[in-house]
Structure 1
Amino acid sequence: MKPPTLEVEGLRTVFLTDAGPVRAVDGVSFTVDAGETLGIVGESGSGKSVTALSLMRLLEEPARIVGGSMRFQGRDLLAMRPDELRALRGDRMAMVFQDPMTGLNPVIRILRQLTEPMVGHGRFAPSEARRRAIGLLGRMGIASPERNVSRFPHEFSGGMRQRVMLAMGFANDPALLIADEPTTALDVTIQAQILDLLRQLNAEFGTAILLISHDLGVIGSVCRRVAVMYAGEVVEEAPTAAVLEDPRHPYAWALVNAVPRIDQPLGEDRRLVSIEGAPPDALALPPGCRFAPRCPFKVERCEREHPPLAEVAPGRLARCWVTQAGQLLPRTGGAGLGGARAVPSAGAPLLTVRGLVKHFPLPRESLFAPRRVVHAVNGIDLDLARGETLGIVGESGCGKSTLARLVTRIHAPTAGSIVFDGQEIATASAAAIRPLRRRMQMVFQDPYASLNPRMTIGETLAEPLVAHGLAQRGAEVRDRVSGLLATVGLNPAWVSRFPHEFSGGQRQRISIARALALEPELVVADEPISALDVNIQAQILNLMLDLQQRLGLTYLFIAHDLAVVRHLCDRVAVLYLGQVMESAPAEALFARPLHPYTGVLISAVPVPGRARVVLEGEPPSTLIRPTGCPFRGRCPIARPLCETPPPLAEHAPGRWAACHFPGEFAHAGLGA
């Protein structure tokens, strides 16, 4: 019998620091056979990426592998010389990194980056490597590969760059591909295309795939088995479907229940299970179960003895004293958490947008070249009631973030009307807008980029209070800042810390606290959870629900995660190329979408065992507006009539769609 493609036994990797060794990976064991897909899932800091880098022997001092064994096709990776490792990497073993821009050289064209490993490993002659590079790009779904192969990485979108990384990974037909978070922060359609590619290439080449992610939905749609990691060790290993349906470790249970599911009915209570606290300090790990301080099911033994990874059912391993004793965990974690849903006001809308347009002129390429214009927003109509949460969804480049900046008047619109609480602000001067800043605030996608790294969080939160005269410097502003931190679940004693001293979830809470400092009526949240772990996402979503209930907030919530939008929002507007394709109550829209684009987006959400509609290509360029329906070039039901632009019309009470054939896509069983 052939040995497993990859066999890892008791792997231990530490980082040697002045304070002592940090045990990043502590006794990890698993195997991956040829043609198998294994998922590794866990929150940030659990040791997933360090495990992958250890396998590729890419770690340098102060990191050191201090124990265990790693065998690739029977060969000992730890005993290999540097020249043997170089011959292996990029040839029989390949890795796709999380951020393609750090994995691609920005000053080298795509063709050279693709052919370099093929020629360098002696697998292909230069002319054959060129043909193969073009063929690989075409198979990865990149249009016009002969032309695009001569471009630089910055000329590609995020999804296209990730496909280039996958093409590089498969360039030499590796026996093992390690994919580290290959779909993080990608649009749902691009994510679905990348996952389809992984499944297809796994089946076609028989490549063993090790897929690392914090998203169990992504793991469930690709991987047959999953290993759940926490604090540097595997806490559960089992078939993926079994973990999703019946997790046997409390940490895996919390991860499963922290994620909204698009294929499950919504209850009255929208709160999610979240794990409070933080993982243990890798410098001083507890003597018992490492998850015990955060575990809702712990028993006294959990605090004293460290559990082994033992069999709890045929083919299922878990590191838990409770389930090893035969106890089953609850089937669902969402029941009984409290928090009734806020009811939107039936009065006049707080925000009304009509015919909103925003164009960005680009610099001329030459003196006589025509001026090019980016058509970011092209005539949007929206209403937002008091106390309501309106979700804005769509692919990158559809105008979501530009709309957010127009509504808050960070950008001035090219045309159209924005009425906030009865006051027209589209053409208002900066002086007229300034008093309204108190009433409308924004939470940005990247909290670290939106916080001043030179200011403590106490100073960051105090600044708007003092600037708007809501508090005097001294004891009054200190009390207000302490109250804001407590409101978002942070320790008031942390006021003297700087942004870099907080985790991503904590920084996002600080951004929310800053938005709440002026007691606004409208909060515009632009992708506030897109790059966060599922547990931190659950905490932020629960916080937003609690604050809306307590303070009567109105949310404009922008996201590309449709399951989160369905979970949080009362209504949803779907954007494509700066136009509203569909607008409807959330439950009705997800139950039966009227517009084909909405149906494709819903179909692209990774749900284990569910087929999906493949949406080829990417949105057209915003430099040249398409004629007719903007979606017709990618629409699965497009007809000649679509050459005439469809109006945004009401097809049922509260249900608007810009389509000549509303509901036909979902009626054919292709959408939801």
Structure 2
Amino acid sequence: MDMAQPEHVTAASTQPVLEVEDLRTVFLTDDGAVRAVDGVSFTVGPGETLGIVGESGSGKSVTALSLMRLLEEPARIIGGSVRFQGRDVLAMRPDELRGWRGDRAAMVFQDPMTGLNPVLRILRQVTEHMVSHGRQSPATARVRAVELLRRMGIAAPERAAASFPHQFSGGMRQRVMLAIGVANDPVLLIADEPTTALDVTIQAQILDLLRSLNEEFGTAIVLISHDLGVIGTVCRRVAVMYAGEIVEEAATEAVLTDPRHPYAWALVNAVPRLDSPAGARLTSIEGAPPNALDPPPGCRFAPRCPFKIARCDTDHPPLMEVAPGRRARCWVTADGRRLPAPPIPAQAAPRSAAPEERPLLEAEGLVKHFAVGRDGFFGASRIVHAVNGVDLRLRRGEALGIVGESGCGKSTLARLVTRLHEPTAGRIRFEGQDITHASPAEMRPLRPRMGMVFQDPYASLNPRMTVADALAEPLLAHRRAATRAEARERVLKLMATVGLKPEWASRFPHEFSGGQRQRISIARSLALQPDLVVADEPVSALDVNVQAQVLNLMLELRERLGLSYLFIAHDLAVVRAFCDRVAVMYLGRIVEQGPALDIFAQPLHPYTVALTSAVPEAGRERVILGGEPPSTLSLPTGCAFRGRCPVARPACEVPPPLAEIAPGRLVACHFPGSFSRPGHLS
């Protein structure tokens, strides 16, 4: 990918758009000043793209809010300077800030639903900044707003402009936020985690939009993310933050291929890739960042660093030039040496099963419909077709991945096979026993054998219960422990199993990090020694390092306890690293299924080709899927994917069956393998 500056950014444009020097931001608390941003310096030139990357708590978002002067008490900027085209941002009066924000500089936030006003139509919100800054009259602003929505890839922009935010999907709302951000052609755009909660296909569309804004308009972009893969697809330079400091700054390609700070090294190697060995352990950093109230005297990463030397514990390293154009805050690489490559993990062989072995879980023709009201008072009932005829088999000790975009039916399928929902049609067998319409009393003996791990561990844990109580509850309810003392003994063993300290048993959920809370959820799912664990997006909301820790833990538990996993995710690289087999879902149906190695090496369904190409890896040619899946309220006729498919033909008006075209490879396509060349789908 060519990361050169846009052609219209000439050599005369030498003045940096943004100059940040020794920026220091603290949060004033009763215990003292929390150093959220501690001496950050960088510049962004005209038409340049800078990525800021780091795990949660590293200071990325506080840096962005400090640049825009959007912080409120108890946060306070206590030092440094921020200059925008030579103007001192920290010295601007409130009226000057109002004129600057949204006009010359704009910001796009992570959660578009909280950034958009739920009671105002989209047109009003897009035109608001143009009119208030005097850039357009109300009439011309309305015309420009519709054109902006069209340029952001929103179909039927006139209709979309008259809609409210809740009528849009997450990806469409983020496009609206981008339209608002660029409405006044800002010189600088700050995007704070704009793709974190989005599907991989929608993420690819948003990143493509950001890159086109930079290339077409010369907009300087600061992109904040915890994922170096995302940064690598858009940004020419990257600054890696840890504990409020920049620990490495260099060209993005240099950091991705040859990181010079151990923290950047760990982030690069923690990201699963489509070409990684299946079942191999990911590189992760154990422990947690230092206390921002009282950071250590030496290198702040030293307590977690696998390469540290004696000097790292006592002397705080400055941001030094370790190679031409490269700066790193590390004593180990200060003399120009490189960090060693991580050991190449052995590829785990997929588990094989004897042909006569009975599957642990079987589903045949599974269907689930939800009634969601009527069209008018006398109208017909409206039906959501969530799952539309799914067949699957899961063997003992196997990990089966279910992938697809939001709304394709993955989570509904998980709740069906665990009988949290009753199927509308079809059949479910658990170890040969038909549980399709089993009553709650009939399911009760089977519940301990089915564990579940949910996407949001904080929402799935009772905030009023300690960890010990949360883990003891299923043991006591299912009489797996006779007394509370016995239950507590089992709880401590469970905590040790998932890498939690026994002394944390008396803590409440809010006292843990996201990764630690997910470990608690995994421990709870293991409390009753299940045969099957259904993991519904267990790592999608986690930083890449914490994600690596949780995936490594789940792999270890599978090997040690012989667990079977139904692993649901929208990130194919994660599924590639974890699962033996993969089923790709689209609009409630499985469109491709087979061994993970084969599906990722040679996807046969056009939808699978698009998903695999959308994984954010630097240099990857991507298929950008146009539009969004059809509404589940009214299923299309024929092949469900044909409206977005580049190889759709008249034969696709007949729905294709899920047919076996090679041993273990099933594809629902009339022309499997006919689309494999990266390009643009419209």
Q: TM-score range by the shorter chain?
A: over 0.9
1:15 correspondence with 2:15: no
C-alpha distance in structure 2 between counterparts of 1:8 and 1:186, whole Å: 30
Cα distance, 1:612–1:340 mapped onto 2, change above 3 Å: closer
* Equivalent residue runs for 1:415-430 within 5 Å: 415-430=425-440
Question: What is the match of residue 602 of structure 2?
Answer: 592
Question: What is the match of residue 235 of structure 1?
Answer: 247
Question: What is the match of residue 135 of structure 1?
Answer: 147
1:344·1:387 contact (CA, 8 Å) conserved in 2?
no
* Equivalent residue runs for 1:407-556 within 5 Å: 407-556=417-566
Deviations 1:23-61 (A, max 9, x none): 000000000011100000000000000000000000011
Report deviation, 1:608: 1.3
1:5 correspondence with 2:13: no
C-alpha distance in structure 1 between counterparts of 2:30 and 2:459, whole Å: 30
2:175·2:206 contact (CA, 8 Å) conserved in 1?
yes
2:573 partner amino acid: A
1:64 partner amino acid: R
Question: TM-score, normalization: structure 2?
Answer: 0.96
1:266 correspondence with 2:277: yes
* Equivalent residue runs for 1:316-465 within 5 Å: 316-331=326-341, 333-335=342-344, 343-346=351-354, 347-465=357-475
Question: What is the match of residue 8 of structure 2?
Answer: none
Deviations 1:385-410 (A, max 9, x none): 11000000000100000000001111
Matched residue SS, 2:99: helix
Question: What is the match of residue 46 of structure 1?
Answer: 58
2:102·2:181 contact (CA, 8 Å) conserved in 1?
yes
C-alpha distance in structure 2 between counterparts of 1:342 and 1:265, whole Å: 14
C-alpha distance in structure 2 between counterparts of 1:26 and 1:669, whole Å: 43
C-alpha distance in structure 2 between counterparts of 1:162 and 1:138, whole Å: 14
Report deviation, 1:606: 1.6
Deviations 1:420-469 (A, max 9, x none): 10001111111101111000111011111111111111111001001111
1:45 partner amino acid: G
1:339·1:546 contact (CA, 8 Å) conserved in 2?
no
C-alpha distance in structure 2 between counterparts of 1:609 and 1:593, whole Å: 19
Question: What is the match of residue 3 of structure 2?
Answer: none
2:447 partner amino acid: R
Cα distance, 1:339–1:550 mapped onto 2, change above 3 Å: farther
1:488·1:543 contact (CA, 8 Å) conserved in 2?
yes
Matched residue SS, 2:97: helix
1:643 correspondence with 2:653: yes
C-alpha distance in structure 1 between counterparts of 2:42 and 2:36, whole Å: 17
607-616 or 29-38: which moved more? Answer: 607-616
1:208 correspondence with 2:220: yes
1:89 correspondence with 2:101: yes
1:174 correspondence with 2:182: no
1:250 correspondence with 2:262: yes
Question: What is the match of residue 37 of structure 2?
Answer: 25
C-alpha distance in structure 1 between counterparts of 2:455 and 2:490, whole Å: 25
1:594·1:663 contact (CA, 8 Å) conserved in 2?
yes
C-alpha distance in structure 1 between counterparts of 2:377 and 2:83, whole Å: 61
C-alpha distance in structure 2 between counterparts of 1:597 and 1:340, whole Å: 27
Question: What is the match of residue 196 of structure 1?
Answer: 208
Compute the RMSD of aligned alpha carbons.
Answer: 1.3
Aligned to 1:220, which of 228, 232, 244? 232
1:570·1:586 contact (CA, 8 Å) conserved in 2?
yes
Question: What is the match of residue 9 of structure 2?
Answer: none
1:271·1:339 contact (CA, 8 Å) conserved in 2?
no
Report deviation, 1:586: 0.3
Question: What is the match of residue 55 of structure 1?
Answer: 67
Matched residue SS, 2:366: strand
C-alpha distance in structure 2 between counterparts of 1:459 and 1:323, whole Å: 47
2:624·2:679 contact (CA, 8 Å) conserved in 1?
no
C-alpha distance in structure 2 between counterparts of 1:165 and 1:69, whole Å: 28
* Equivalent residue runs for 1:288-299 within 5 Å: 288-299=298-309
Cα distance, 1:40–1:412 mapped onto 2, change above 3 Å: same
C-alpha distance in structure 2 between counterparts of 1:139 and 1:277, whole Å: 44
Report deviation, 1:609: 1.7
2:621·2:678 contact (CA, 8 Å) conserved in 1?
no
Matched residue SS, 2:333: helix
Aligned to 2:641, which of 612, 627, 631? 631
2:386·2:412 contact (CA, 8 Å) conserved in 1?
yes
2:124 partner amino acid: R
2:391 partner amino acid: D
Matched residue SS, 2:69: coil
Report deviation, 1:334: 4.5
1:273·1:334 contact (CA, 8 Å) conserved in 2?
no
295-304 or 345-354: which moved more? Answer: 345-354
Question: What is the match of residue 571 of structure 1?
Answer: 581
1:57 partner amino acid: R
Report deviation, 1:335: 3.0
Question: TM-score, normalization: structure 1?
Answer: 0.98
C-alpha distance in structure 2 between counterparts of 1:473 and 1:496, whole Å: 18
Matched residue SS, 1:127: helix
C-alpha distance in structure 2 between counterparts of 1:502 and 1:107, whole Å: 35
Matched residue SS, 1:324: coil
Gaps (5+ residues) in structure 1?
A: none
C-alpha distance in structure 2 between counterparts of 1:227 and 1:265, whole Å: 26
515-524 or 345-354: which moved more? Answer: 345-354
Question: What is the match of residue 159 of structure 1?
Answer: 171
Question: What is the match of residue 6 of structure 2?
Answer: none
1:238·1:316 contact (CA, 8 Å) conserved in 2?
yes
1:344·1:386 contact (CA, 8 Å) conserved in 2?
no
- The size of the alignment, in residue pairs, is 666
Report deviation, 1:341: 5.9
Question: What is the match of residue 125 of structure 2?
Answer: 113
Report deviation, 1:365: 4.1
Question: What is the match of residue 304 of structure 1?
Answer: 314
C-alpha distance in structure 2 between counterparts of 1:325 and 1:181, whole Å: 34
1:581·1:658 contact (CA, 8 Å) conserved in 2?
yes
Report deviation, 1:473: 2.4
1:125 correspondence with 2:137: yes
1:356·1:415 contact (CA, 8 Å) conserved in 2?
yes
Deviations 1:300-330 (A, max 9, x none): 0000100010111110000000001233111
2:623·2:678 contact (CA, 8 Å) conserved in 1?
no
C-alpha distance in structure 1 between counterparts of 2:395 and 2:614, whole Å: 30
2:351 partner amino acid: V
Cα distance, 1:418–1:43 mapped onto 2, change above 3 Å: same
2:196 partner amino acid: T
Matched residue SS, 1:664: coil
Report deviation, 1:474: 2.8
2:262 partner amino acid: P
1:102 correspondence with 2:114: yes
C-alpha distance in structure 1 between counterparts of 2:321 and 2:228, whole Å: 22
How many percent of aligned residue pairs carry the same amino acid?
A: 74
Question: What is the match of residue 617 of structure 1?
Answer: 627
Report deviation, 1:670: 6.0
1:348·1:385 contact (CA, 8 Å) conserved in 2?
yes
Cα distance, 1:113–1:575 mapped onto 2, change above 3 Å: same
